[in-house]
Amino acid sequence: MPITRQLGYTVIQVNAIGLGAMPLSLEGRPDEKTAFNVIKTFVENGGNFIDSANVYCVDDADVGHNERLINKALNQLNNTHDVIIATKGGLRRPQGGWTIDASPDWLRQSCEKSLQDLDVDRIFLYQLHAPDPNVPIIESVGELARLKEEGKIQHIGLSNVSAYQIELALSIAPILSVQNKCHLFNTEAFTDGVIECCVQNNISFIAHSPVG
Protein backbone atom coordinates (compact mmCIF):
# COMPACT_ATOMS: atom_id res chain seq x y z
CA MET A 1 0.00 0.00 0.00
CA PRO A 2 1.37 3.44 -0.90
CA ILE A 3 2.00 5.94 1.88
CA THR A 4 -0.55 8.74 1.67
CA ARG A 5 -0.89 12.24 3.08
CA GLN A 6 -3.95 14.37 3.71
CA LEU A 7 -4.00 17.29 1.30
CA GLY A 8 -4.17 20.45 3.35
CA TYR A 9 -7.54 21.28 4.88
CA THR A 10 -9.36 18.79 2.63
CA VAL A 11 -10.12 15.14 3.40
CA ILE A 12 -8.38 14.05 0.19
CA GLN A 13 -5.52 11.58 0.50
CA VAL A 14 -2.69 11.73 -2.04
CA ASN A 15 0.31 9.48 -2.49
CA ALA A 16 3.25 10.90 -0.55
CA ILE A 17 5.31 10.78 -3.76
CA GLY A 18 3.89 12.94 -6.53
CA LEU A 19 5.04 13.27 -10.11
CA GLY A 20 6.81 16.50 -10.98
CA ALA A 21 6.16 16.57 -14.72
CA MET A 22 8.46 19.47 -15.64
CA PRO A 23 11.25 17.33 -17.26
CA LEU A 24 8.73 15.92 -19.72
CA SER A 25 8.36 19.30 -21.44
CA LEU A 26 11.58 21.32 -21.21
CA GLU A 27 14.30 21.51 -23.85
CA GLY A 28 15.76 18.02 -24.38
CA ARG A 29 12.44 16.49 -23.38
CA PRO A 30 11.66 12.85 -24.17
CA ASP A 31 9.48 11.90 -27.10
CA GLU A 32 5.75 11.75 -26.45
CA LYS A 33 5.63 7.95 -26.20
CA THR A 34 8.30 7.94 -23.48
CA ALA A 35 6.57 10.77 -21.63
CA PHE A 36 3.27 8.88 -21.77
CA ASN A 37 4.99 5.77 -20.38
CA VAL A 38 6.32 7.79 -17.43
CA ILE A 39 2.82 9.02 -16.59
CA LYS A 40 1.32 5.57 -17.20
CA THR A 41 3.82 3.87 -14.88
CA PHE A 42 3.26 6.48 -12.19
CA VAL A 43 -0.54 6.15 -12.27
CA GLU A 44 -0.55 2.35 -12.51
CA ASN A 45 1.61 2.19 -9.38
CA GLY A 46 -0.77 4.25 -7.29
CA GLY A 47 0.33 7.78 -8.08
CA ASN A 48 -2.51 10.29 -7.91
CA PHE A 49 -0.88 13.74 -7.75
CA ILE A 50 0.86 15.35 -10.72
CA ASP A 51 2.47 18.77 -10.52
CA SER A 52 2.58 20.91 -13.66
CA ALA A 53 2.79 24.52 -14.80
CA ASN A 54 1.85 26.38 -17.95
CA VAL A 55 5.51 27.39 -18.43
CA TYR A 56 6.88 23.84 -18.36
CA CYS A 57 7.71 24.15 -22.03
CA VAL A 58 10.49 25.24 -24.38
CA ASP A 59 9.57 28.91 -24.85
CA ASP A 60 6.66 31.31 -24.96
CA ALA A 61 5.35 29.78 -28.19
CA ASP A 62 5.13 26.40 -26.45
CA VAL A 63 3.28 27.47 -23.28
CA GLY A 64 0.89 24.81 -22.03
CA HIS A 65 2.84 21.85 -23.47
CA ASN A 66 3.08 20.04 -20.13
CA GLU A 67 -0.59 20.49 -19.30
CA ARG A 68 -1.69 19.27 -22.72
CA LEU A 69 0.66 16.29 -22.45
CA ILE A 70 -0.70 15.25 -19.06
CA ASN A 71 -4.31 15.63 -20.19
CA LYS A 72 -3.68 13.58 -23.32
CA ALA A 73 -1.92 10.83 -21.38
CA LEU A 74 -4.65 10.57 -18.74
CA ASN A 75 -7.30 10.47 -21.43
CA GLN A 76 -5.52 7.55 -23.06
CA LEU A 77 -5.48 5.83 -19.67
CA ASN A 78 -9.18 6.65 -19.16
CA ASN A 79 -8.14 8.26 -15.89
CA THR A 80 -9.05 11.93 -15.90
CA HIS A 81 -10.86 11.98 -12.56
CA ASP A 82 -8.77 9.97 -10.08
CA VAL A 83 -5.54 11.91 -10.54
CA ILE A 84 -5.18 15.42 -9.10
CA ILE A 85 -3.36 17.82 -11.39
CA ALA A 86 -1.83 20.87 -9.74
CA THR A 87 -0.65 23.61 -12.06
CA LYS A 88 0.79 27.09 -11.74
CA GLY A 89 0.69 30.57 -13.23
CA GLY A 90 2.76 33.72 -12.87
CA LEU A 91 5.81 33.17 -15.07
CA ARG A 92 6.66 33.77 -18.73
CA ARG A 93 9.11 32.06 -21.12
CA PRO A 94 10.41 34.75 -23.53
CA GLN A 95 12.87 33.15 -25.99
CA GLY A 96 13.23 30.26 -23.53
CA GLY A 97 14.07 32.46 -20.57
CA TRP A 98 12.25 32.58 -17.23
CA THR A 99 10.65 35.82 -16.06
CA ILE A 100 8.12 36.49 -13.31
CA ASP A 101 4.80 38.13 -14.11
CA ALA A 102 2.30 37.69 -11.30
CA SER A 103 0.17 40.64 -12.33
CA PRO A 104 -3.57 40.05 -12.00
CA ASP A 105 -4.08 40.33 -15.76
CA TRP A 106 -1.41 37.76 -16.61
CA LEU A 107 -2.57 35.35 -13.90
CA ARG A 108 -6.09 35.51 -15.30
CA GLN A 109 -4.89 34.96 -18.87
CA SER A 110 -2.69 32.08 -17.70
CA CYS A 111 -5.51 30.44 -15.76
CA GLU A 112 -7.90 30.72 -18.71
CA LYS A 113 -5.33 29.06 -20.99
CA SER A 114 -4.61 26.32 -18.44
CA LEU A 115 -8.32 25.54 -18.29
CA GLN A 116 -8.24 25.01 -22.05
CA ASP A 117 -4.99 23.03 -22.08
CA LEU A 118 -6.11 20.75 -19.25
CA ASP A 119 -9.61 20.56 -20.78
CA VAL A 120 -11.34 21.13 -17.46
CA ASP A 121 -14.03 23.47 -16.20
CA ARG A 122 -12.20 24.06 -12.93
CA ILE A 123 -8.57 23.56 -11.89
CA PHE A 124 -8.33 21.66 -8.61
CA LEU A 125 -5.14 23.36 -7.36
CA TYR A 126 -3.81 26.52 -8.98
CA GLN A 127 -0.53 27.79 -7.57
CA LEU A 128 1.15 31.18 -7.74
CA HIS A 129 4.44 30.12 -9.34
CA ALA A 130 6.48 32.81 -7.62
CA PRO A 131 5.91 36.18 -5.96
CA ASP A 132 6.53 39.10 -8.31
CA PRO A 133 8.85 41.79 -6.90
CA ASN A 134 6.89 44.35 -8.93
CA VAL A 135 3.43 43.25 -7.75
CA PRO A 136 2.31 43.07 -4.10
CA ILE A 137 1.56 39.44 -3.29
CA ILE A 138 -1.85 40.43 -1.92
CA GLU A 139 -2.77 41.65 -5.43
CA SER A 140 -1.63 38.38 -7.02
CA VAL A 141 -3.45 36.25 -4.45
CA GLY A 142 -6.43 38.56 -4.66
CA GLU A 143 -6.80 37.71 -8.34
CA LEU A 144 -6.54 33.99 -7.55
CA ALA A 145 -9.26 34.50 -4.94
CA ARG A 146 -11.47 36.10 -7.60
CA LEU A 147 -10.82 33.19 -9.97
CA LYS A 148 -11.81 30.87 -7.14
CA GLU A 149 -15.02 32.80 -6.53
CA GLU A 150 -15.79 32.49 -10.24
CA GLY A 151 -15.39 28.71 -10.01
CA LYS A 152 -12.36 28.56 -12.29
CA ILE A 153 -10.10 27.17 -9.59
CA GLN A 154 -11.01 25.12 -6.53
CA HIS A 155 -8.01 25.68 -4.28
CA ILE A 156 -5.13 28.17 -4.12
CA GLY A 157 -1.50 27.21 -3.64
CA LEU A 158 1.77 29.12 -3.43
CA SER A 159 5.27 28.33 -4.63
CA ASN A 160 8.73 29.77 -3.87
CA VAL A 161 7.45 31.85 -0.97
CA SER A 162 8.61 32.96 2.48
CA ALA A 163 6.73 32.46 5.73
CA TYR A 164 5.86 36.17 5.73
CA GLN A 165 4.40 35.91 2.22
CA ILE A 166 2.33 32.90 3.28
CA GLU A 167 0.86 34.94 6.15
CA LEU A 168 0.05 37.81 3.78
CA ALA A 169 -1.66 35.41 1.39
CA LEU A 170 -3.68 33.87 4.21
CA SER A 171 -5.09 37.31 4.98
CA ILE A 172 -6.69 37.21 1.52
CA ALA A 173 -7.77 33.58 1.01
CA PRO A 174 -7.35 30.03 2.35
CA ILE A 175 -4.13 28.41 1.10
CA LEU A 176 -4.12 24.67 0.44
CA SER A 177 -0.43 24.11 -0.29
CA VAL A 178 3.03 25.61 -0.43
CA GLN A 179 5.63 24.26 -2.84
CA ASN A 180 9.25 25.22 -2.11
CA LYS A 181 12.58 23.61 -2.84
CA CYS A 182 13.57 21.10 -0.17
CA HIS A 183 16.09 18.25 -0.27
CA LEU A 184 19.15 16.90 1.58
CA PHE A 185 21.35 19.72 0.26
CA ASN A 186 18.79 22.46 0.84
CA THR A 187 16.87 22.26 4.11
CA GLU A 188 16.08 25.96 4.32
CA ALA A 189 12.34 25.32 4.57
CA PHE A 190 12.94 23.75 7.99
CA THR A 191 14.83 26.77 9.31
CA ASP A 192 13.21 29.78 7.64
CA GLY A 193 9.78 29.26 9.21
CA VAL A 194 8.03 28.02 6.06
CA ILE A 195 7.30 24.47 7.23
CA GLU A 196 6.39 25.71 10.70
CA CYS A 197 3.94 28.17 9.14
CA CYS A 198 2.44 25.39 7.03
CA VAL A 199 1.99 23.12 10.05
CA GLN A 200 0.34 25.89 12.07
CA ASN A 201 -2.10 26.69 9.26
CA ASN A 202 -2.88 23.15 8.05
CA ILE A 203 -1.18 23.78 4.71
CA SER A 204 0.38 20.90 2.78
CA PHE A 205 4.08 21.36 2.08
CA ILE A 206 5.10 20.08 -1.35
CA ALA A 207 8.85 19.60 -1.63
CA HIS A 208 10.08 20.27 -5.14
CA SER A 209 13.45 18.93 -6.35
CA PRO A 210 13.31 16.42 -3.44
CA VAL A 211 16.30 14.36 -4.61
CA GLY A 212 18.45 17.43 -5.18
* Catalytic residue list: 56
With a CB cutoff of 8 Å and minimum separation 6, the contacts of 150 are none
The pair phi, psi for residue 134, each rounded to 5°, is -100, 0
Alpha carbon dihedral 52, 131, 128, 43, in 10-degree steps, equals 30
Go through 102-138 and write b for each residue having 16 or more CB atoms within 10 A of its CB, e for each that does not: bbbebbbebbeebbebbebeebbbbbbbbbbeebebe
DSSP 137-172: HHHHHHHHHHHHHTTSEEEEEEES--HHHHHHHHTT
Task: Please say whether the dihedral angle defined by the alpha carbons of residues 15, 156, 148 and 106, taken in this order, is positive or negative.
Answer: negative
